[in-house]
Amino acid sequence: MSGLTLLIPIALGMGVFGLAVFFWAMKHGQFEDLDGAAQRILIEDEDDEAA
Amino acid sequence: MNAATAIAPESDVELVDSRFTVPGMRCAGCIAKIERGLGELPGVDAARVNFSAKRVAVRHDAQLDDEALVEALERLGFESQPVADNPLATDDKDAKLLLRALAVAGFGMMNIMLLSVSVWSGAGGVTREMFHWLSALIALPVVAYSGRPFVASAAMALRYGRTNMDVPISIGVLLATGMSFYETLTGGEHAYFDGAVMLLFFLLAGRALDATMRNRTRAGIGALLGRMGKSAAVLQDDGSTRRISADELFPGMVMLVAAGEALAADGEVIDGAGAIDNAMLTGESTPEPVMVGDTVHAGAVNLSAPLRIRITATKGDTALAEIARLMDEAGQSRSRYVRIADRASRLYAPAVHSLALLAFIGWMLAGAGWHQAMIIAISVLIITCPCAMGLAVPAAQVVASGALVKKGVLVKDGSALERLAEVDTVLFDKTGTLTLGEPRAEIGDLDAEARSVALGLAQNSRHPLSKGLVASLQAAGTAPAEVIGVHEESGQGLLGLWHGTPAALERAEAAGSGLATTLRIGDRREVIRFSDPLRADAGATVSALSALGLSSQILSGDRTQSVAPVARALGILGRGAVQPAEKLVALEALKRQGHLPLMVGDGLNDGPALAAAHASLAPASASDASQQAADAVFLGDRLGPVSLAVRVARETMRIVRQNFVFAIGYNILAVPLALAGMVTPMVAAIAMSLSSLVVVGNSLRLARAAR
């Protein structure tokens, strides 16, 4: 029993943490452009001076 | 575009955001080119491409207008269109809400299942009670949050005295949660929190899939009907001109239309001659010659010399507005189409409710207490909840539309796939649909030298004939010759110097029938003719369609003389000189005979027919309005996607029906158990996930359907 009082909150806490991260990611547009992220890795960063 | 000189210092510049759809971006190089190219433009603060949505968001100086940015994109080699303030916001919000609800339900399901497994494996006494309380603590907020989409929709349906799939779902979930809470309070043996939350999770997965599919393809299509001229330069009594917005124009006014300007009203040419691009109205990009006395329509673009036009119709009276109105009315019938899931639920929901009620009454009569009778009734509701049914349709449709996207067919939503599967007759427009809709040059007679000089000249012009010439020459692998000083002279053509010899592409004098241009190199003259060829696989597609049991015919606005040879070549029926309204009449006649027509067309004149047909397809080169009206858009030079779309749609419906058989078959097996009172929460959970997995697995077979 005493183990459960520790383990269950930990399990729930991890679940809630994952959920919070997902909500954060959605709010900050991490899923807006899934294909773009895959493509952008191919762009060469030759022009830091242009940025 | 001298925006650079007008820019004030950074600090007091007002920055605004604009969005543009850029359908032509295909690769990482395009992203880099657009972002860098726009970033270098004076007055642009930042540009960010969204590749999935094929859109670019630009943060720029308020003085830099949309047209300047569209032109800048054009120079970078991309066609674009400004997007009004986030028109997809509501759809987007729906999809996001569903995703959040799905995440919450997933979290709840996993944690409650963790606790339930311990209860099933024999936890008893205080531990079981504590686990039930913990489950309740998780389940109540989860059901309250994730159940909203269903309860809201069910409440809406009930308020209008109808029933839909959400009514049995809501009743099942709410009753199960309430009953389980009561069990928890009284220290009972079984709590169905896991079942209720799992049900929500699977159903939300189906809904979220459906919403993502809608958004993904709409993003690829989302262009707007915005090409009609917004204002016109109107000639005043004293001979000067004044810009007047399209709303304030009146018939009788005389407007002066410069080259490159779009017409804001219908009218008659009273001075000047040249050519107009009527693609907005007809989808045909071949320039149309106009002269004094000709009628021109709003939305057409003047390609050459300035025209004076006496306005005959404005605003809602223009041909363009008339077509928009026809489309609007024609689209009404389609919104009455009932989707297969709703048809199923019309039969299913009453059956399930009466079954649960009968179970309750039966057990009461048999002498069980109201508590036990209630539990059995609820377990009937849970076990029959259309969990696998909720996935049966969207899972299959999402997989199928994903497979179609890879083949260049963008289907707008699931209902489109259902209707595509039912069609039995295909009506084709001719120009732009069976044919490419773009002039292609016949270059067989030209030698290598002439070809490369022609390409060197033509690539400098945006005239449709030049573009067609470039496309033909490039397809033949010609390299451009170095032609210098190329300039376009209105009414004459393209002039330049090639190794010191004057070279030109000029208007052909004796062209006879059809379009032609004369290539002049020094004293040498070659006539290049243009034609609008059939799409390469038009014949193969028509026979593929007839193999599927669909009969094809041509319904074209073009002259009967030019429709007949095409119809003969394809071996199908052809009707020419059909007005937009007559296309509607023809469609209605077919529908009355019990046919379900598929319309394939591109021009705005096809718009009403596209909206009225049982299902419709448009090529990506179609006018914006037609793309909006069509159920699906296909990319590329081939017609094959038409038969492919029908084939895949039918395959999809076959899988959907199989899914229904699985889902209902499982219910038939499980209901007697539930009626006998033998369904424990564990049995319910296993049955539910198994049937959902089978349905999803079966749907995944569609990934290969488009091969």
Q: What is the pLDDT of residues B675-696, one digit of tens each?
A: 887 777 777 778 878 888 888 8
Residue predicted with more confidence, B527 or B278? B527
- Mean pLDDT over all residues of chain B? 80
Residue predicted with more confidence, B241 or A25? A25
| pLDDT number for residue B386 | 64
A12 neighbourhood in chain B, CB within 8 Å: 111, 138
Distance CA B453, CA B354 (A): 81
Q: Which of B54, B94, B107 to mutate to test the interface with A (most CBs of A within 10 A)?
A: B107
How do residues B206-236 score in pLDDT, each as one tens digit? 888 877 776 655 544 444 345 566 677 888 7
Sheet hosting strand B274-277, strand order edge to edge: B288-290, B274-277, B301-302
Active site residues of B: 429
CB contact set of B657 (below 8 Å; sequence gap of 6+): none
How do residues B431-474 score in pLDDT, each as one tens digit? 778 887 777 777 777 788 888 888 888 877 767 778 778 888 88
Closest CA to B686 of B198, B134, B108, B143: B198
| pLDDT number for residue B283 | 54
Strand ranges in A1-51 using DSSP code E only, listed in sequence order: none
B127 neighbourhood in chain A, CB within 8 Å: 1, 4
CB contact under 8 A, B107 and A35: no
B103 contact A CB<8A:
yes
Single-letter code of the amino acid located at B415: S
**Residue recorded with tokens 């009082």:** A5
| pLDDT number for residue B139 | 94
Closest CB from B27, B36, B111 relative to A12: B111
Mean pLDDT in residue range B9-23? 69
Closest CA to B414 of B430, B435, B429, B400: B400
B328 contact A CB<8A:
no
pLDDT tier for residue B38 given thresholds of 50, 70 and 90: confident
First to last CA, chain B: 48
* Prediction ipTM score: 0.81
Number of A:B CB contacts under 8 A?
Answer: 57
How do residues B495-552 score in pLDDT, each as one tens digit? 888 888 888 887 766 545 566 788 888 888 888 877 777 888 888 888 888 898 888 8
Distance CA B17, CA B384 (A): 50
**Residue recorded with tokens 């076959």:** B654
Q: Based on the number of CB atoms within 10 Å of its own CB, is B408 exposed (0-12), middle (13-18) or buried (19 or more)? A: middle
How do residues B61-104 score in pLDDT, each as one tens digit? 878 777 788 888 888 877 777 765 444 445 667 788 888 999 99
Please state the three-class secondary structure of B489-534 as a single string: ECCCEEEEEECCEEEEEEECCCCCCCEEEEEEECCEEEEEEEECCE
Angle between helices B193-221 and B681-700 (to 10 degrees): 20
Mean pLDDT in residue range B317-344? 69
A19 neighbourhood in chain B, CB within 8 Å: 103-104, 107
CB contact under 8 A, B107 and A42: no
Q: Based on the number of CB atoms within 10 Å of its own CB, is B364 exposed (0-12), middle (13-18) or buried (19 or more)? A: middle
| pLDDT number for residue B343 | 76
pLDDT above 80: residue B322: no
pLDDT above 70: residue B7: no
CB contact under 8 A, A33 and B51: yes
Q: Which of A33, A41, A47 to mutate to test the interface with B (most CBs of B within 10 A)?
A: A33
**Residue recorded with tokens 């949050």:** B145
Distance from CA of A36 to the nearest CA of B (A): 5
- Using DSSP, state whether B239 is helix, strand or coil: coil
Phi, psi of B705 (to 5 degrees): -65, -30
Residue predicted with more confidence, B180 or B348? B180
CB B660 within 8 A of CB B389: yes
| pLDDT number for residue B229 | 64
Mean pLDDT in residue range B135-152? 92
Distance from CA of B183 to the nearest CA of A (A): 22
CB contact under 8 A, A19 and B111: no
| pLDDT number for residue B456 | 83
DSSP 8-state class, residue B378: H
Single-letter code of the amino acid located at B483: V
CB contact set of B2 (below 8 Å; sequence gap of 6+): none
CB contact under 8 A, B31 and A40: yes
B100 neighbourhood in chain A, CB within 8 Å: 23, 26
CB contact under 8 A, A15 and B99: no
What are the C-alpha distances in Å from A12 to residues A18, B105, B107, B119, B190? 10, 14, 9, 17, 22
B118 contact A CB<8A:
no
pLDDT above 80: residue A2: no
Closest CB from A18, A39, A50 relative to B36: A50
Distance from CA of B21 to the nearest CA of A (A): 14
Give the CA diameter of chain A.
Answer: 62
CB contact under 8 A, A26 and B96: yes
| pLDDT number for residue B457 | 83
CB contact under 8 A, A33 and B110: no
Distance CA B49, CA B31 (A): 6
CB contact under 8 A, B138 and A34: no
With a pLDDT cut of 90, the percent of chain B lying above it is 6
Which residue on chain A is closest to B53 by alpha carbon? A33
| pLDDT number for residue B216 | 58
CB-CB neighbours of B492 under 10 Å? 11
CB contact under 8 A, B28 and A15: no
A1 neighbourhood in chain B, CB within 8 Å: 127
Mean pLDDT in residue range B330-348? 69
Distance from CA of A33 to the nearest CA of B (A): 5
B145 contact A CB<8A:
no
**Residue recorded with tokens 């508590």:** B371
B96 neighbourhood in chain A, CB within 8 Å: 26
Bridge partners of B618?
A: B633
CB contact under 8 A, A19 and B107: yes
Closest CB from A15, A33, A36 relative to B111: A15
| pLDDT number for residue B6 | 42
Mean pLDDT in residue range A11-36? 87
| pLDDT number for residue B5 | 41
How do residues B574-608 score in pLDDT, each as one tens digit? 887 777 778 888 888 888 888 889 999 887 778 78
Mean pLDDT in residue range B31-55? 83
B134 contact A CB<8A:
yes
| pLDDT number for residue B88 | 45
pLDDT above 70: residue B200: yes
Mean pLDDT in residue range B48-53? 80
CB B561 within 8 A of CB B513: no
What are the C-alpha distances in Å from B527 to residues B234, B289, B475, B500, B505? 40, 19, 19, 22, 10
Bridge partners of B290?
A: B274
Closest CB from A4, A12, A40 relative to B28: A40
Domain positions in chain A: 2-50
A35 neighbourhood in chain B, CB within 8 Å: 51-52
Closest CB from B31, B127, B138 relative to A36: B31
pLDDT above 70: residue B39: yes
Distance CA B679, CA B253 (A): 80
Closest CB from B51, B107, B114 relative to A36: B51
pLDDT above 50: residue B356: yes
How do residues B642-659 score in pLDDT, each as one tens digit? 999 999 999 999 999 998
Closest CB from B32, B111, B138 relative to A43: B32
CB contact under 8 A, B31 and A35: no
CA atoms within 13 A on the CB side of B536: 4
B52 contact A CB<8A:
yes
- Using DSSP, state whether B244 is helix, strand or coil: strand
pLDDT above 70: residue B333: no
